[in-house]
A and B are shown apart, each in its own frame.
Chain A
Amino acid sequence: MLILEIEKCYDEFVLNTGWKADKGEIVVLFGPSGSGKSLTLRAIAGLETPDRGLIRINGRLVFHNQKNINMPAKDRSVAYVPQNYGLFPHMKVYENILFGMNGNSPERRKKKAMQLLQRVGLENKWNKYPKQLSGGEKQRVALSRALANNPEVLLLDEPFSAVDMTVRKILRNEIRDFLAQWQIPIVLVTHDPDDLGALASRVIQYGNTKVPVCLNR
């Protein structure tokens, strides 16, 4: 379970949000661009530090401003797939996945990486570089890499922004079935209303609670 209650002041707006996500739930953060959806994801991942509030993952407090807790991103066990997937262009598909795997012997890691690729139907692309893949394939690699370490939360930032409308429909179904296999809280950011009906267990609206001034600054 993921619980958060955070606030952060920026020059032009204030991010102020609080909600929770249960195991196996897909919480969709929905709203126009610039309303702080991606910033929320980055705060959960530990890539951005809120000014106030708390973030709790499965009972672990990863951020709490009053208790001075701010766990670095590398220790949070949160998987993050950014908008352009963030694949490592200088590594082959299987190297991308291996990079994220910690522990175990090299042979076992390699075996698990190939199993993950099989699961998304990309076992014959293991030796390709990211630039040789289609948008949908890149996304599947990024998802496999993100899940290779059995994270406790999965964060997806605009997962369909890089693919065209027709592919988007197919990918939505694909990703929903795929994500259903992982019983972890999933947070997905989008500004596309079509994503809501297809994917969301719950929708958090962004952008209509703008506070013009940041109070205790």
Chain B
Amino acid sequence: MNWMPVYLSLKIAFYATLISAVFGVPLGWLLARNRSIGGNLLSSFVMLPMVLPPTVLGYYLLIFIGRQSFIGRWLQDTFQVNLVFTWQGAVLAAAIVSLPLMVRAVQASIESVDPNTEDVARTLGKTEPVIFFRITLPLAWQGILAGVVLAFARAMGEFGATLMVAGNIPGKTQTLSIAIYDAVQAGNYEQANFLVVLISVITIFSLWILNSYVKNNRW
């Protein structure tokens, strides 16, 4: 059995989740607290990866980070970094695809925090960062955790955009879902079965952990 795709998928999903959390939590907070036209525009933009076909998304990414593009050339010239056909490129693709799930979950959970509690904290002399970290974040924690798990699951299963950006290089960018496709194409059903069972187990297990955690932590 070839374990490499499993390891790659876990690594890529881990970094992708990290990135989408770092961007998704502030974005979700912003969207929950800002109901202006700008907020609506931003919201639509953030949700795009959820409705666009993954191949289209991958194509956009290729245009933006490819060697011919401004950003791609800049990355190449200043950092000697090329994202196309690398696992870091796959991380970028997975992060963008999972960001909407993260943002939606964070936004919903922050919207459910009673604004009175934040107002009281203001009158008690607290600054906005203190309020965010000691009131808003702890109260929205479960929703944020749900967002993390969903984003991770989505990143684990990423196929279309990853294939476009990172390709299908065994041992380098061949993730679980791509390896499954590859194995089926090659008629290697033993490997396909193994990977399918594995990804199912990982996904069900993470959802189960999430559910039992949320059940035990309600005030």
Q: Is the CB–CB distance between A88 and B117 below 8 Å?
A: yes
Q: Mark A140-152, 1 if CB is under 8 A from B, else 0.
A: 0000011001000
Instruction: Let me know if B125 and A100 touch, CB within 8 A.
Output: yes
Stretch of B7-15, B71-79, B81-89, B132-140 on the interface side: B132-140
| A73 B138 Cβ-Cβ under 8 A | no
User: Which residue of chain B has the shortest Cβ distance to A153 in the bound complex?
Assistant: B123
A46 and B135 form a contact (CB under 8 A): no
**Chain B residue with Cβ nearest A72:** B122
Could you tell me which residues of chain A, from 138 to 172, have a CB within 8 Å of some CB in chain B? 145-146, 149
Binary B-proximity of A73-107 (CB < 8 A = 1, otherwise 0): 11111111111101111100000000110100000
A90 touches B124 (CB 8 A): no
- Chain B min CB distance to A130 (Å): 8
Chain B interface residue count, Cβ-Cβ cutoff 8 angstroms: 17
Q: Which residues of A contact B134 (CB under 8 A)?
A: 99
Interface extent on A, as a size class?
Answer: 20 to 34
Contact A74 B219 (CB under 8 A): no
User: Is A131 engaged at the interface, CB distance under 8 Å to the other chain?
Assistant: yes
> Is A74 a contact of B114 with CB atoms below 8 Å?
no
Q: Does A199 contact B (CB under 8 A)?
A: no
The CA of A90 and the CA of B136, in the complex, are separated in Å by 10
Shortest Cβ distance from B217 into chain A, in angstroms? Answer: 10
Question: Are B122 and A46 neighbours in the complex by a CB distance under 8 Å?
Answer: yes
Do B219 and A131 have beta carbons less than 8 Å apart?
yes
A82 touches which of B119, B139, B219 (Cβ 8 Å) = B119
Q: CB-CB < 8 A to B123: which residues of A?
A: 45-47, 73-74, 76, 78-80, 146
Q: Name the one of B119, B124, B127 contacting A145, with C-beta atoms under 8 angstroms.
A: B124
Q: How far is the CB of B110 from chain A (nearest CB, A)?
A: 14
- Report the separation of the CA atoms of residues A20 and B133 in the bound assembly, to the nearest whole angstrom: 37
Task: Tell whether A182 is near chain B: CB-to-CB under 8 Å.
Answer: no
Residues on the B chain within 8 Å of A76, using CB: 123
Contact of B117 among A79, A81, A86, A129 (CB under 8 A): A86
Contact between chains at A149 and B125 (CB < 8 Å): yes
**Residue of B117, B120, B122, B219 with most chain A CB atoms under a 10 A cut-off:** B120
| Contact status of A80 and B127, CB under 8 A, knowing A89-B139, A89-B219, A90-B139 | no
Is B63 on the interface with A (CB-CB < 8 A)?
no
Chain A residues with CB under 8 A of B119:
42, 45, 47, 73, 80, 82, 86
**Smallest Cβ distance from A57 to chain B, in angstroms?**
13
Question: What's the least CB distance linking A98 to chain B, in Å?
Answer: 11
A127 to B34 alpha-carbon distance, docked (Å): 36
Which residues of chain B come closer than 8 Å to A79, judged between CB atoms?
123-124
- When distances are taken between beta carbons in the complex, the residues of chain A under 8 Å from B185 are none
Which of chain B's residues have a CB closer than 8 A to the CB of A84?
A: 114, 116
Contact: B116 with A102, CB < 8 Å? no
Residues of A within 8 A of B121 (CB): 88, 99
Other than the given A74-B127, A146-B123, 14 more pairs (CB < 8 A) read: A42-B119, A46-B122, A72-B122, A74-B123, A74-B125, A74-B126, A79-B123, A79-B124, A89-B139, A89-B219, A90-B138, A100-B124, A100-B125, A149-B125
